[in-house]
Amino acid sequence: MTNRPAPSGGHSHARLEEAALAIALAERPPPRERARCFESGNLEAAVSTFRRKFGEAPASGLEAARRWRDAAAAAGRRLLILGQPGFPPRLAEIAVPPIALEIAGETDLAAPAVAVVGSRRATPYGIAVAERLAAALAEAGLVVVSGLARGVDAAAHRAAIEAGGRTVAVLGSAHDSLYPPEHRGLARACRASGAVLTEFPPGTRPLPHHFPRRNRIIAGLTLGTLVVEAAARSGSLATARHAVDSGREVFAVPGPIGSDTSAGCHALIRLGATLVTGVADILEELGLPSGSIESGADSGDVRSREPGGASPRPGPEAARLLDALGKRPSGMDLDTLLGAAGLPVPVGLAAISELERRGLVRRFPGDFFRGADGSLD
């Protein structure tokens, strides 16, 4: 699918964009048939094709499209339409691409990217491996894409940010119904270091059937999908299947023999996924240079390092967080903590990750933090 320049005339283009959004919101025909209307890359032709085949979008759909457009503009978010400039080219190639994306943040969605996904109930091993591999991918210049979920997803996002790289979070809900709610701070950090995006319009709640749709976008944005830890029936395996269906690579990290949380990864490896013990395995399979990894950057090798390795003393940003927590032993939420320490979200999250790895800070539900010597009653 080719991206072509938008037609001239601001008002006429706005009307065409509204019509395209209404098509995205339509319940019929099936998504694949609606997406095929956009194959020409010409917005006017796409809308005309839909009208010729399926009739006009209902008035209620056009009104909902206007509300979506206005809400995105008011929040400073962009709307990208399939086949139009800026729409991720790899995502446009999948079997059923989204017709519209609402994006917060600025990053090149055509840049080389790898998805890092895995269990929401990851083990310490899974978290440590996700952090190391995501950080190494970011240091190698790849965008780390994941789903903002608890467990492996959150670890991958945070590690990419801490490494100074770019990360993209794909939601299974609207921006105004972000899930899980305790990851609002992480979502802000992802936006500052990359992007947060969704195909769902305002007001869409995080319902279970939305997450398989999200998974196809995670796989579609990337050159390959890395599964770090997954049970035999994990949703991460669905993301891997989407990657295979789209002709993308699948990578899997082996776990301990007999581990239920690694059964899905072992199944993927038996089916031909690339076994990963370090980031060089991924870069080699993708045909990307690995010189920067071999010449001093962290290789992310999961064979040679124990979880929890740390530098001798906290960095200056981490020290500011510890000082702020020391002045309020009862603890504080993420926004209050970062404000007290005077740190921007990406820098603060990186420093918090450092302190958590060192066991100096404890995270509680709702992104509430205390020094490690305290507890919540």
pLDDT confidence of residue 376: 41
Q: How far separated are the first and last CA of the chain, in Å rounded?
A: 57
Q: Give the residue among 132, 134, 129, 133 at the shortest CA–CA distance from 145.
A: 134
Q: How far apart are CA 98 and CA 185, in angstroms?
A: 26
Q: How far is CA 12 from the centre of its chain?
A: 33
Predicted TM-score of the model (pTM):
0.77
pLDDT confidence of residue 88: 95
Q: Where exactly does CATH 3.40.50.450 map onto the chain?
A: 113-294
What string of DSSP letters covers 25-55? H---S-HHHHHHTTTTS-HHHHHHHHHHHH-
Domain 316-371 has CATH 1.10.10.10: yes
Q: Who has greater pLDDT, 169 or 321?
A: 169
- Identify whether 202 is preceded by a cis peptide bond (ω within 30 of 0): no
Give exposure, 92-121, as e/b (b: 16+ Cβ within 10 Å). bebebbbbbbbbbbebebeebbbbbbbbbe
Whether 136 contacts 297, CB under 8 Å: yes
**pLDDT tens per residue across span 214-236:** 999 999 999 999 999 988 888 88
pLDDT grade, residue 309 (50/70/90)? very low
Looking at the chain, the whole-number percentage of residues with pLDDT higher than 70 is 88
Is residue 18's pLDDT more than 70? yes
Average pLDDT over residues 201-210: 95
pLDDT grade, residue 368 (50/70/90)? confident
For CA atoms 284, 285, 289, 293, the dihedral sign is negative
Q: Where exactly does CATH 1.10.10.10 map onto the chain?
A: 316-371
Q: Lowest mean pLDDT of 134-138, 186-190, 368-372, name the range.
A: 368-372
Those residues whose C-beta lies under 8 Å from the C-beta of residue 347, and which sit 6 or more positions away, are 317
**pLDDT tens per residue across span 259-277:** 898 999 999 999 999 999 8
Q: What CA–CA distances, in Å, run from 85 to 93, 264, 291?
A: 15, 38, 33
Q: Give the residue among 66, 109, 70 at the shortest CA–CA distance from 90.
A: 109
Indicate the SS3 state at residue 274: strand
Is residue 183's pLDDT more than 60? yes
pLDDT confidence of residue 61: 87
Is residue 291's pLDDT more than 60? no
pLDDT grade, residue 354 (50/70/90)? confident
Q: How far apart are CA 75 and CA 151, in angstroms?
A: 28
Is residue 303's pLDDT more than 80? no
CATH architecture of 113-294: 3-Layer(aba) Sandwich (3.40)
Whether 253 contacts 265, CB under 8 Å: yes
